[in-house]
């Protein structure tokens, strides 16, 4: 069918998301199904959660150039990555800070005064509960009253559902449609390959997995409950033991409970930065494999986890926690799938996938150790 438009435009009708870009306006559909219109590609973007800068770096060749303001969490909680961005983009040090990690520290008034042309929010940050009308959010009301377009993205609460529409809306809003679609193609092909290989894996064949979240930074032991990592473990063909007792996104499991479940796969997460760096998992940007493995062993011993079957059977691993809340969870899930069902994934490498993303997309590549095995 031939489509004709009176203005030059590009029409994407992919999945359930429609993005129309023409000479006058850009209309996108965000992760909450809201239609948002911009007068032109955004050049002054506010990241209410600065952890999403690497998401911009996937789909924009100069992500710092379009930042009007952000929170300080990338500088504080992802300090190793921040230093890499600072080296490539020194101007990042002068981006106005309008908040910290949480919404109660975020200044709507200061943000509006900076006259951005796009606000990037998450539902949680905006105070939008499950099933709640986004217009009930005071933050959304304030931005709407100021006439500033807002898009809601989600890579955290429902990552399997919302990653593609979030990327597509963000990419169109900043004028990077083709680069974004190229990444989505890679993302979807890798996710489909994982799903295809696990089609015949029944619930009975999903082994117990213990995700030790932010390992070593708190008393034993933080774990995902519902959503987020739990969805990723399930997608990779495993069963997250935390989901049976934790009915929130995260929580704490006792050693006694963990031992009683006899997990056959153990995975510690960490970022290797911020306040958790001294006791947590040493992993991520600038970290060598030896140091990452040594810290993994230290965490296992200090928490008395060496009694678990996963340790005895040498199926214990560490991984970078910041793959969470990002489209880069595709790397996390590939690593999980290989550790949980090694016979199904002998020819798939999460490290190779990360290398391809570094080479093709990330403006500031991830360089360091992001996955480590205990005994290899």
pLDDT class of 6 with cuts at 50, 70, 90: very low
Q: Just give the CATH number of 9-175.
A: 3.40.50.1980
Answer for the pair 252, 223: CB distance below 8 angstroms, yes or no: yes
The C-alpha R_g of the chain, in whole angstroms, comes to 21
Mean of per-residue pLDDT scores for the chain:
91
Name the pTM for this structure: 0.90
Answer for the pair 146, 122: CB distance below 8 angstroms, yes or no: no
Q: What is the pLDDT of residues 113-155, one digit of tens each?
A: 999 999 999 998 888 887 888 888 999 999 999 999 999 999 9
Q: What is the pLDDT of residues 309-332, one digit of tens each?
A: 999 999 999 999 999 999 999 999
Q: What is the pLDDT of residues 210-237, one digit of tens each?
A: 999 999 988 889 999 987 899 999 999 9
Amino acid 275: pLDDT: 53
Amino acid 46: pLDDT: 98
Sequence-distant contacts of 195-198: CB under 8 A, at least 24 apart = 195/235, 197/337, 197/341, 197/344, 197/345, 198/236, 198/237, 198/337, 198/341, 198/344
Residue owning tokens 């809201």? 34
CATH 3.40.50.1980 domain span(s) along the chain: 9-175, 201-373
- Report the CATH architecture of 201-373: 3-Layer(aba) Sandwich (3.40)
Q: Which residues are CB-contacts of 198 (< 8 A; sequence separation ≥ 6)?
A: 236, 237, 337, 341, 344
Answer for the pair 25, 99: CB distance below 8 angstroms, yes or no: no
Sequence-ordered alpha helix ranges (H) in 26-107:
53-59, 73-77, 79-88
Strand ranges, E, within 138-219 = 150-152, 208-212
């Amino acid at each position: 069918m031939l489509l004709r438009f009176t203005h030059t435009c590009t029409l994407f009708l992919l999945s359930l998301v429609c993005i129309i870009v023409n000479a006058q306006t850009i209309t996108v559909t965000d992760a909450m199904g809201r239609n948002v219109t911009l007068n032109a590609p955004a050049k002054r973007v506010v990241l209410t959660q600065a952890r999403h800068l690497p998401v911009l770096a996937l789909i924009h060749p100069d992500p710092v150039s379009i930042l009007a303001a952000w929170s300080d969490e990338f500088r504080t909680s992802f300090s190793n990555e921040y230093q890499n961005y600072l080296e490539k983009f020194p101007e990042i040090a002068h981006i106005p800070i309008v908040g910290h990690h949480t919404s109660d520290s975020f200044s709507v008034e200061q943000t509006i005064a900076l006259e951005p042309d796009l606000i990037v929010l998450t539902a949680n940050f905006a105070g939008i509960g499950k099933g709640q009308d986004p217009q009930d959010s005071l933050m959304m009301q304030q931005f709407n009253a100021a006439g500033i377009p807002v898009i809601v993205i989600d890579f955290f609460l429902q990552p399997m559902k919302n990653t593609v529409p979030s990327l597509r809306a963000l990419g169109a809003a900043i004028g990077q449609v083709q680069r974004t679609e190229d990444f989505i193609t890679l993302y979807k092909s890798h996710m489909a390959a994982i799903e295809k290989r696990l089609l015949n894996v029944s619930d009975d064949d999903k082994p117990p997995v213990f995700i030790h979240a932010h390992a070593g930074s708190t008393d034993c032991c933080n774990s995902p409950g519902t959503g987020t990592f739990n969805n990723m473990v399930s997608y990779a063909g495993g069963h997250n033991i935390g989901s049976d007792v934790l009915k929130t996104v995260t929580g704490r499991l006792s050693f006694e409970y963990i031992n009683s479940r006899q997990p056959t796969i153990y995975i510690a997460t960490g970022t290797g930065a911020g306040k958790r760096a001294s006791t947590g998992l040493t992993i991520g940007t600038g970290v060598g494999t030896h140091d990452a493995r040594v810290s993994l062993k230290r965490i296992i011993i200090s928490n008395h986890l060496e009694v678990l079957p996963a340790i005895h059977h040498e199926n214990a691993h560490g991984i970078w926690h910041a793959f969470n809340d990002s489209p880069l969870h595709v790397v996390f899930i590939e690593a999980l799938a290989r550790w949980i069902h090694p016979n199904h994934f002998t020819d798939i490498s999460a490290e190779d996938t990360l290398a391809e993303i570094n080479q093709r997309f990330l403006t500031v590549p991830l360089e360091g150790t992001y996955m480590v095995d205990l005994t290899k």
